[in-house]
Copies of this chain bind each other. A is one copy, B any other.
Amino acid sequence: MKLVTLDEIKAVLPGIDLLTAIETGFVAYSEGRCIVPPVGELLMDGGEVHIKYGSLSDDPFYVIKIASGFPGNPKLGLPSGNGLMLLFSQQTGELVCILLDEGHLTGVRTAVAGAISAKYLAPRPVRRIGIMGTGLQAQLQLKHLTTVIDCREVLAWGRGVEQLRRFRRALEGFGFSLETTLDAAEIGATCNLIVTTTSATEPILRSRDIQSGTHITAIGSDTPHKQELDVGILADADKVVADSKMQCRLRGEIFKALEAGVITENVVVELGHLIGGGAQGRTTDSQVTVFDSTGVAVQDIKIANAVYDAIN
């Protein structure tokens, strides 16, 4: 059994073609070539634990990911998120490897999903990227977008000047031309690729602010309670794409729009079908497209298998 630390994982990540690995996962998921049971949840007073797990018939290993969020951790000088991934042989059930990634791979695979959605759905050319939120996921989204988008003009929105200052500093040296704003409407007015990464429970982006020819990647909402987009954005969009139609029925932006009755399920397309060619994405550069990411175990399965391959 191999035990791999976060430093070891970070050392091999740059050499892995994560985009292809995770695209393969989304296609397998949408084509039903994998087993992904419902997410396990342990909700305690101090924090939450989510267990995502499953197997792809083509992979040697099944994967169980344990991820936690403890909101009180920052006061103790610890990150709120944590986690690990376990790989087991599909032949024998033997534990093969533990990736002690402390939740990092969840952040990365989520950012890769954002990049994949931009690859298939962003208008051409992207003139300016709007990033909403100033946390680690916002950084990762920008970094991974550079693998599929040439644009380096970025407008970042945050709730405070101090957060935006830290965000700007964290991205120094990565080649972005980064402006900041406290006005969310400015994101809609000037950016044609927008990525939302907050934990908002009320819309931060309004339908009236969105220009034609925009792609929006909605990352933040992955529960029934969180929401970043006003449901009018989904109602008006030319294409609404889910990572998992099944999950988006129960959580995320699509859930909110279905609940409000402004869209019906039959308009929603699954990302894996878009990648696989079974469904059509953007057909003109003037359309508005939305990708709603809630996080699917196939992403964890594929990134864990890819990291294992790179280390061995």
- Measured CB to CB, the residues of A under 8 A from B are 1, 3, 35, 37, 40-47, 49, 51, 53-55, 57, 62, 64, 66, 68-70, 72-73, 76, 78, 82, 84, 86, 88, 90-95, 98, 100
- Please determine whether B78 and A92 come into contact, CB atoms closer than 8 angstroms: yes
Kindly state the separation between the CA atoms of A86 and B3 in the bound complex, as whole angstroms.
14
Given A37-B40, A46-B93; 19 other pairs, CB 8 A cutoff: A35-B43, A35-B44, A37-B42, A42-B55, A44-B55, A44-B62, A44-B90, A46-B90, A46-B92, A49-B53, A49-B62, A49-B64, A64-B66, A66-B86, A66-B88, A82-B92, A82-B93, A84-B95, A95-B100
- By a CB distance below 8 angstroms, the chain B residues around A68 are 88, 93
26 A-B residue pairs with CB within 8 Å:
A1-B100, A35-B43, A35-B44, A37-B41, A40-B51, A42-B55, A44-B55, A44-B90, A46-B90, A46-B93, A47-B92, A49-B62, A51-B53, A51-B64, A64-B66, A66-B86, A66-B88, A68-B93, A69-B93, A70-B91, A70-B92, A70-B93, A72-B91, A78-B94, A82-B93, A84-B95
Partner of A92, one of B41, B53, B55, B73: B73
Kindly state the separation between the CA atoms of A73 and B70 in the bound complex, as whole angstroms.
39
Residue of B nearest to A41 (CB): B37
- A171 shortest CB reach to chain B, Å: 28
- By a CB distance below 8 angstroms, the chain B residues around A70 are 91-93
Kindly state the separation between the CA atoms of A23 and B260 in the bound complex, as whole angstroms.
49
Kindly state the separation between the CA atoms of A84 and B46 in the bound complex, as whole angstroms.
24
- Please determine whether A73 and B93 come into contact, CB atoms closer than 8 angstroms: yes
Residue of B nearest to A52 (CB): B40
- A54 shortest CB reach to chain B, Å: 7
- By a CB distance below 8 angstroms, the chain B residues around A55 are 42, 44
What 7 A-B pairs come out closest when comparing CB atoms? Answer: A68-B93, A70-B93, A40-B40, A82-B93, A47-B93, A70-B92, A73-B92
- A91 shortest CB reach to chain B, Å: 6
Kindly state the separation between the CA atoms of A40 and B100 in the bound complex, as whole angstroms.
22
- Please determine whether B40 and A53 come into contact, CB atoms closer than 8 angstroms: yes
- Please determine whether A49 and B82 come into contact, CB atoms closer than 8 angstroms: no
- A241 shortest CB reach to chain B, Å: 27
- By a CB distance below 8 angstroms, the chain B residues around A72 are 91-92
Kindly state the separation between the CA atoms of A57 and B49 in the bound complex, as whole angstroms.
15
- By a CB distance below 8 angstroms, the chain B residues around A95 are 82, 84, 100
Q: Which of A45, A54, A92 is packed against the most chain B CB atoms within 10 Å? A: A92
Residue of B nearest to A95 (CB): B84
- By a CB distance below 8 angstroms, the chain B residues around A64 are 49, 51, 66
Kindly state the separation between the CA atoms of A42 and B91 in the bound complex, as whole angstroms.
14
- A158 shortest CB reach to chain B, Å: 26
Kindly state the separation between the CA atoms of A40 and B91 in the bound complex, as whole angstroms.
20
Kindly state the separation between the CA atoms of A45 and B58 in the bound complex, as whole angstroms.
12
